[in-house]
Structure 1
Amino acid sequence: MDPRIREHAETIVEHSVSLQAGDNVVIQLPPEAEDLAVALYEQCGDIGANPIWIANSGRADRGYLRSSEEFETPAHQLSFYEDADAFIIARGGSNVTESSDVPPETNAAYRRAMKPVQKERLSKRWCLTQYPTSGHAQLAGMSTEGYENFVWDAVSLDWDTQREFQANMVEVLDPADEVRITAGEETDLTMSVAGNSTLNDYGEKNLPGGEVFTAPVKESVSGSVYFDLPLYRYGREIEGVRLTFEDGQVVSHSAERNEALLTGILETDDGARYLGELGIGMNRAIDQFTYNMLFDEKMGDTVHMAVGAAYPETVSEENELNESAEHVDMIVDMSEDSTIEVDGEVVQRNGTFVFEDEF
């Protein structure tokens, strides 16, 4: 076994989810990640935690979705999740486009049925990470070995140092009232974040980490945004997304590729047309776009926004929590002709922050 896999497992267990003796931990990994499952089981054994590995299969999921006409919330899975203390989930798999022929309306219906299960999982300690496979390497345009090195380097940062760097932006954004984002000729978006909390992601719920994020006040988002970096969702690439907001809601949208899939996402439920997250990428160790949002949204010189569910811990009691079965991140490149303004003051210009020497 590659020793970096055991190092990864140790980081997950000790840093990301802080497993304790007696914890019931659900490990959801694809079959290709069996080495990581072994390493995690070893860690659980050393600590005295109780692991169970659920093997995720893209082929099986596709078969189920294409064969089903309607969906109900699986009560047995919900009760299983209720008994868990922590979740460890890794992406991977041999074919990243396995679900590309599942209709958008089927995905939306399934997400709605699974919303209570998702909500239960998010209420526990959890970590989403990546296991490097040839399928993801191919998507990233990298050799298998090159992609392995990319992943292991990204998850093995000095997270204390990264946390301290990102804390500078938390200090700027957390007490703020209004944020304005401009980029190029097509992005000029304002939103209120008044009262909401800004969180510092340094490799806990996401590994790798590397962002600070908050939630907009639900009905405050106004203006237009062009997401110039593509995303993969349900096995298909969505490219060139344009959204226009009024009173917080998406009132018009388009995409240069797979617009029907974007429409299906926005029509999942009422909350899917509102922003649930504003995130600012700050991990400059991730310097290559890989079509994997777990990494891409953390890149320095980027901003991402998610339509759909807000994380409850970012929303204050006096503000409305946006709820949805979806949470879809999309990215704006902020490296050129761009600014982030907080309460009228420019705090980032062309990717450089006000607290950096180069500003």
Structure 2
Amino acid sequence: MFTPEELKKYAQTLWWGLETARTRPYEKGDMVMLRYDLDALPLAEAMFDLLMDKGVIPVPRANLSTEMEKSFYGKGDDRQIETVPPGDKPLMENLNGVISLIAPASLTHLKDVDPARLGKAAVSRKFLREIMEGREQSGDFAWTLCMYPTQALADSASMSLEEYKQEIVNACFLDKEDPEAEWNVIFEQTLKVKQWLNELPIRRIRVKSESTDLVVTPGEKRRWLGVSGHNLPSFEIFTSPDWHGTEGVYYADQPSFRSGNYVKGVRLTFKDGRVVESDAEEGAEFVAKQLAMDEGAPQLGEFSLTDRRFSRIGKFMANTLFDENFGGEYGNCHVAVGASYADTYAGDQSELDQNLKKQLGFNDSALHWDLVNTEPKTVTAELEDGSEVLIYENGEFKHE
């Protein structure tokens, strides 16, 4: 599907992402896990070869196939679903990076599985993510991920496989001679926006569109991040707010495929920081059970905006990695219910322990689910002195 040259560029771009995401350079002998879906094998092989050239130690891991997932979640008892192999913990404690290649062979194969079973598996493995998060805070670890085209993705996005592939090529600058140089330009452009937002003494943010009227409270010691290398492509600028201050209604007009399920038209009503009412045009039961996964699931973990001038994504791609970075005519806003990102803490990362996270309103959950709104909207910031500043309108930041 991809030419050898495109695969090489894609692998080099992923390495740029991993290096950019880590606070200190990689060294020979560092261990990097290469996690991939089976359909992404050609890119996995190109990435493995590059990792060998870099002198790091590749740790390849194939994800479960569609049939394996159906068997695991459909037949497994609680012990089978919740047991974590004994070698996973020490491995995570020693990894220096993870590169994930997403290539789903099916997007709806788990639609008949009780969503609570998916939640049990996620909760039992939450501690592994916490290990990685702690190592990332200390500068020992970083992660990045990307997507590889499959027929299931193309069909769900109403494209041919070749058309879908070309959207990935375009979004990741693989059509350019030097994709890394292109990403460095985006990095510098978004840096200006982040600096502007981080200098504003924002008390509250209000998002208004035809179907959304939501208030988000950034909270103390927060910073805005984006184009950090974690996701490729990534054009969003985001923060993890204080979940306690979330109020109002949020509507996701863009559909979402998650954990083998399809949902559409998700509407969430927040009061005192928590979802008190949820609904969806399709998949309402799945939404409700995801929000019941644990104590933090119905609380906000992320607030994000994408400027249409940065993003080359203009079509629905049936995958959150791309869809949360949608540019189109009006850009997008997305929120994530569930886990927050610790790296949005503006202070010394080494001091951000569980007690401080709780005190500052960083949300804790096994869930992290991005829900995207692409409607024309205004986003206004109320500053500490009571004045208001328009920070985003109709798909563009207002920093200039």
Q: Is the 8 A contact 1:179 1:190 kept in 2?
A: yes
**Could you tell me how far 1:151 is from its partner in structure 2?**
0.8
* Residue aligned with 2:154, SS: helix
1:166-223: CA deviation from partner (whole Å, max 9, x where unpaired): 2233134324221110011x31111211324334322611011111110111200011
Q: Does 1:286 align with 2:313?
A: yes
Q: Is the 8 A contact 1:281 1:298 kept in 2?
A: yes
> Of 80, 86, 90, which residue of structure 1 is paired with 2:97?
86
> Of 379, 391, 400, which residue of structure 2 is paired with 1:340?
379
1:15-69: CA deviation from partner (whole Å, max 9, x where unpaired): 4336431111111111211111211121112111111211112321221121222
Matches of 1:201 and 1:159, distance apart in 2: 12
Q: Percent identity?
A: 28
Structure 2 residues without counterparts, runs of 5 or longer? 20-24, 174-178, 347-355, 383-387
Q: Is the 8 A contact 1:20 1:48 kept in 2?
A: yes
> Hey, what does 1:267 align to over in structure 2?
292
Bigger CA drift: 166-175 or 343-352?
A: 166-175
Q: Is the 8 A contact 2:297 2:338 kept in 1?
A: yes
> Hey, what does 2:337 align to over in structure 1?
307
Q: Does 1:242 align with 2:255?
A: no
**Could you tell me how far 1:111 is from its partner in structure 2?**
0.9
Matches of 2:117 and 2:204, distance apart in 1: 37
* Residue aligned with 1:271, SS: coil
Runs ≥4 in structure 1, deviation > 6 angstroms? none
1:215-269: CA deviation from partner (whole Å, max 9, x where unpaired): 1112000111111111111122111111111111111111111101001110000
Matches of 1:161 and 1:305, distance apart in 2: 26
> Of 108, 119, 130, which residue of structure 1 is paired with 2:119?
108
> Hey, what does 2:192 align to over in structure 1?
168
**Could you tell me how far 1:96 is from its partner in structure 2?**
2.2
Distance of aligned partners of 1:181 and 1:54 in 2 relative to their CA distance in 1, 3 Å threshold: same
TM-score normalised according to structure 1 size: 0.93
Q: Does 1:13 align with 2:28?
A: no
Matches of 1:150 and 1:288, distance apart in 2: 8
> Hey, what does 1:181 align to over in structure 2?
207
> Of 168, 171, 176, which residue of structure 2 is paired with 1:151?
168
Matches of 1:94 and 1:315, distance apart in 2: 37
Matches of 1:196 and 1:239, distance apart in 2: 35
> Hey, what does 1:142 align to over in structure 2?
159
Distance of aligned partners of 1:272 and 1:73 in 2 relative to their CA distance in 1, 3 Å threshold: same
Matches of 1:278 and 1:303, distance apart in 2: 8
Structure 1 residues without counterparts, runs of 5 or longer? none
> Hey, what does 1:255 align to over in structure 2?
280
> Of 231, 246, 260, which residue of structure 2 is paired with 1:221?
246
Count, aligned residues: 353
* Residue aligned with 2:369, SS: strand
1:125-149: CA deviation from partner (whole Å, max 9, x where unpaired): 1011111222212222111111111
TM-score normalised according to structure 2 size: 0.84
Distance of aligned partners of 1:321 and 1:289 in 2 relative to their CA distance in 1, 3 Å threshold: same
